[in-house]
């Protein structure tokens, strides 16, 4: 079974993020869900992003690194939207990463020091018409990552335009897309070894 470090999105550690983590736990995986916002949860993505700007995106990444420092190597780093920042930084730079799950966001690999490590399998998931994922460069970054690391990387696109479609506690939740994503995530976790 995999050990996963899951980072929440810009609205915080919502009940939907906890529910997603619990689904992975019920399948036998160990899942850690650090709170990068120190207990704050926001009613909108915009308010959460503004908070992240205020504390600094670098602080978000550093809080993610601090959470990982308390855990062993061999983790799967997972992030939802904003949570992709620390997940991707750790997957690319912390030795021993078992894999990465980049949900609803992707950053150019160059932002975290260069090419994606060939030994670290990564799965990227997002909606094809999500203004945040498809419209702000994340989809382009995902396609570039897959092209540069074809043996390690795979991109899954879901029909629709919702952002945070995986969070069951938000109005943007898409049950059918989230169920398919969860099925694919669980299948991926079965393949990774530390």
Specify the pTM.
0.96
* pLDDT tens string 71-107: 999 999 999 999 999 999 999 999 999 999 999 999 9
* pLDDT tens string 133-178: 999 999 999 999 999 987 789 999 999 999 999 999 999 999 999 9
Residues with Cβ within 8 Å of residue 86, at least 6 apart in sequence: 7, 36, 60, 61, 63, 64, 65, 67, 68, 77, 79
Top-level class of domain 3-191: alpha beta
DSSP 8-state code for residue 79: E
- Residue whose token pair is 């997002």: 126
């Amino acid at each position: 079974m995999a050990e996963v470090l899951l980072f929440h999105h810009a609205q915080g550690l919502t009940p939907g993020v906890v529910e997603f983590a619990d689904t992975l736990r019920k399948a036998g995986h160990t899942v850690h869900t650090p709170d990068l916002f120190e207990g704050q949860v926001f009613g909108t993505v915009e308010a959460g992003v503004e908070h992240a700007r205020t504390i600094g995106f670098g602080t978000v990444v550093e809080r993610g690194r601090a959470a990982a420092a308390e855990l062993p190597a061999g983790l799967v780093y997972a992030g939802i939207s904003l949570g992709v920042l620390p997940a991707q930084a750790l997957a690319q730079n912390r030795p021993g990463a078992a894999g990465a799950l980049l949900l609803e966001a992707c950053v150019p690999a160059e932002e975290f020091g260069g090419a994606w490590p060939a030994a670290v399998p990564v799965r990227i998931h997002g909606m094809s018409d999500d203004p945040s994922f498809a419209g702000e460069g994340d989809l382009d970054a995902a396609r570039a990552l897959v092209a540069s690391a074809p043996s390690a990387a795979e991109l899954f696109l879901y029909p629709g335009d919702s952002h945070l479609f995986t969070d069951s506690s938000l109005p943007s939740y898409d049950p059918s897309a989230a169920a398919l994503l969860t099925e694919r995530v669980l299948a991926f976790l079965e393949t990774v070894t530390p």
